[in-house]
């Protein structure tokens, strides 16, 4: 009887997987995204659900353990029978689960900026590709007169590949090799004294110097504290971060950081009706007026709503039907415009540069005039510049080489 009841319950709901670290070094960033998905599911259920059924969240904790992500992803797909999964933050976690989603032909909506060089039939990348964050940030700093570059990152896939793209881009722009310093530290790194000292020394040659930071997770807290302790101001050596948003700043004293920068596609401070509504809904759901919003939350919001619209369009949660239906779907973003899912499974996004304020918010100092379509493959890396991704028939390929007119046969 219990088994029959369980089967009936499963048939009456559409299960949605939530795959975010709720413990370990990435919990500082990912717990909020778990709560965002739960809020969106609750809101959708209040609207009547989807295809006449209520949505049911299935939450797991991969605990910032990259192999465990794959195990938990398989559990969600094979045991819990979820229709789609919203999750992952780091690229190493996404790479860990990728074979699972491709083998089972399930769907992953990935909501964080990443390094590019990938396009999977089963993944929808709603965070920024390098041309939607890293490249525009460097262009902005160049316009501010920066000539020397510190590329500082956490030691894993995203920072290393992003910095590989940035190094090639900087050299393409005429920057000499001796004017580029690259440094990597492990997850959770806490002793920044010697590294910040090296950065100060590198920036003392008379050339305007900036730090491009792909430092991820809770290592950011001691990094910024050390910058303040050693008197590194934004006027001296500005830092532009790709992994520091409102959530990360809410836990530290921002006074020494005022004037440093971050590049994202959304800031909580953006003035738009859609953003006001989202912030109000978030505060109501989380029951805390002090909680902030951030860019990966917006990417989660966009991805979830794209999935909902694609399921409606397809009339089913079937993975293949949703994959076909979602290309071309446009939904509101939180900056007052719309984002569209492109044939390469990346979306269109505006690019914003924000300056840290003493209240932990960002003042937008620069933005693109419209949206930018995400590139799966970099125009600045050998082996990538000739590749395009298009998951529509008849091409249906993640890495089609325009010179050889061949698809490699792999998705990424």
Regarding whether 201 and 315 lie in a shared domain, the answer is no
Computed over every residue of the chain, the mean pLDDT equals 93
- What percent of the chain lies above the pLDDT cut of 90? 85
pLDDT at 365 over 60: yes
Residue of 175, 92, 171, 163 lying closest to 130 (CA atoms): 163
Q: What is the pLDDT of residue 8?
A: 34
Asked if residue 389 belongs to a domain, the reply is no
Tell me, what CATH number does 143's domain have?
Answer: 3.40.50.2300
Token pair 């419209």 in the structure block, residue: 370
Last residue of a domain, one of 337, 352, 367: 352
Same domain assignment for residues 177 and 221: yes
Is residue 322 within 8 Å of residue 306, measured between CB atoms? no
In this predicted structure, what is the pLDDT of residue 132?
97
320 within some domain: yes
pLDDT tens by residue, 112-167: 999 999 999 999 999 999 999 999 999 999 999 999 999 999 998 899 999 999 99
pLDDT of residue 30: 94
pLDDT at 4: 36
| Token reading at 391 | 């998951």
Could you tell me if 391 and 342 are in contact, meaning their C-beta atoms sit under 8 angstroms apart? no
For residue 193, being part of any structural domain is answered with yes
Same domain, 282 and 176: no
Collapse the DSSP code of 311 into the 3-class scheme (helix H, G, I; strand E, B; otherwise coil) and give the result: helix
**CA-based nearest residue to 230, from 261, 199, 207, 252:** 199
pLDDT for 409: 61
Contact (CB, 8 A) for 175 and 150 = no
Q: Tell me: do 92 and 157 sit in the same domain.
A: no
Q: Which token pair is 54?
A: 């209520």
Q: Determine, yes or no, domain membership for 232.
A: yes
**What would the pLDDT profile of 19-63 be if each residue is shown by its tens digit?**
999 999 889 889 999 999 999 999 999 999 999 999 999 999 999
- Inside any domain, residue 359: no
Q: What is the pLDDT of residues 159-205, one digit of tens each?
A: 999 999 999 999 999 999 999 999 999 988 999 999 999 999 999 99
Total domains in the fold of the chain: 2
Confidence at residue 410, expressed as pLDDT on a 0 to 100 scale: 56
Q: Which residues contact 109 (CB under 8 A, 6 or more apart)?
A: 84, 85, 86, 87, 123, 124, 126, 300, 303, 304, 306, 307
Residue-level pLDDT at 9: 40
Residue at which a domain ends, from 352, 387, 403: 352
Predicted local distance difference test score (pLDDT) of residue 228: 86
On the question of pLDDT at 1 being above 80, the answer is no
Are the C-beta atoms of residues 377 and 388 closer than 8 Å to each other? Answer: yes
The predicted pLDDT at position 251 comes to 72
- For the segment 338-353, the average pLDDT, to the nearest whole number, is 98
What pLDDT does 10 receive? Answer: 47
Task: Determine, yes or no, domain membership for 154.
Answer: yes
* Residues 31, 120 within the same domain: yes
Residue 150 sits in the same domain as residue 251: yes
Determine, yes or no, domain membership for 121.
yes
Residues 148 and 259 in one domain: yes
pLDDT at residue 406, as a whole number: 93
pLDDT of residue 19: 98
Clarify whether residues 92 and 120 are in a common domain: yes
pLDDT tens figures, 277-292:
999 999 999 999 999 9
> Which pLDDT belongs to residue 383?
87
How much of the chain exceeds pLDDT 70, in percent? 96
Provide the pLDDT confidence category of residue 2 given band limits of 50, 70 and 90: very low
Residues 148 and 123 in one domain: no
pLDDT at res. 7: 35
Picking from 219, 243, 264, the residue at the C-terminal end of a domain is 264
φ and ψ of 348, to 5 deg:
-90, 135
Question: Which residues span the domain enclosing 95?
Answer: 2-129+270-352
The encoded tokens of residue 80 equal 């819990």
Q: What is the pLDDT of residues 194-252, one digit of tens each?
A: 999 999 999 999 999 999 999 987 788 889 889 989 999 899 999 999 988 898 888 77
Q: How would you classify residue 127: left for phi > 0, otherwise alpha for psi between -120 and 50, otherwise beta?
A: beta
pLDDT given for residue 3 in this prediction: 40
Give the residue, 387 or 411, on which the prediction is more confident: 387
């Amino acid at each position: 009887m219990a088994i029959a009841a369980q089967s009936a319950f499963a048939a009456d709901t559409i299960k949605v997987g939530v795959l975010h670290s709720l413990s370990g070094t990435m919990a500082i960033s990912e717990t909020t995204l778990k709560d965002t998905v739960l809020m969106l599911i609750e809101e959708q259920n209040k609207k009547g659900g989807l295809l006449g059924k209520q949505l049911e969240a299935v939450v797991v904790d991969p605990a910032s353990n990259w192999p465990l992500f794959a195990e938990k992803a398989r559990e969600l797909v094979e045991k819990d029978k979820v229709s789609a999964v919203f999750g992952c933050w780091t690229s190493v976690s996404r790479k860990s689960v990728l074979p699972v989603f491709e083998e089972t032909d399930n769907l992953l909506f990935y909501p964080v900026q990443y390094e590019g060089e990938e396009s999977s039939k089963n993944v929808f990348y709603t965070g920024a590709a390098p041309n939607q964050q890293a490249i525009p940030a460097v262009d902005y700093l160049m316009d501010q007169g920066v000539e020397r570059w510190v590329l500082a990152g956490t030691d894993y896939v995203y920072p290393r590949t992003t910095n590989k793209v940035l190094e090639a881009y900087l050299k393409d722009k005429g920057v000499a090799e001796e004017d580029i310093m690259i440094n990597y530290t492990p997850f959770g790194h806490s002793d920044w004294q010697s590294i910040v000292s090296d950065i100060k020394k590198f920036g003392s040659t008379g050339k305007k110097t900036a730090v491009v930071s792909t430092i991820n997770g809770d290592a950011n807290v001691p990094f910024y504290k050390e910058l303040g302790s050693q008197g590194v101001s934004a006027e001296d050596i500005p830092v532009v971060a790709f992994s520091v948003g409102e959530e990360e700043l809410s836990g530290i004293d921002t006074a020494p950081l005022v004037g440093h920068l971050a590049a994202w596609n959304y800031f909580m401070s953006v003035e738009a009706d859609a953003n006001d509504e989202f912030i109000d809904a978030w505060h109501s759901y989380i029951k805390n007026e002090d909680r902030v919003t951030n860019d990966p939350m917006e990417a989660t919001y966009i991805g979830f709503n794209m999935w909902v619209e694609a399921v409606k369009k397809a009339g089913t949660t079937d993975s293949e039907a949703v994959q076909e239906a979602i290309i071309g779907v446009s939904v509101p973003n939180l900056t007052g415009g719309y984002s569209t899912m492109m044939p390469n499974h990346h979306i269109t996004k505006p690019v914003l540069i924000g300056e840290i304020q003493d209240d932990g918010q960002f003042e937008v100092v620069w933005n693109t005039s419209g949206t930018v379509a995400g590139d799966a493959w970099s125009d600045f890396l050998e082996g990538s510049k000739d590749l395009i991704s298009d998951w529509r028939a008849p091409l249906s390929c993640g890495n089609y080489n325009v010179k050889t007119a061949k698809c490699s046969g792999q998705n990424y």
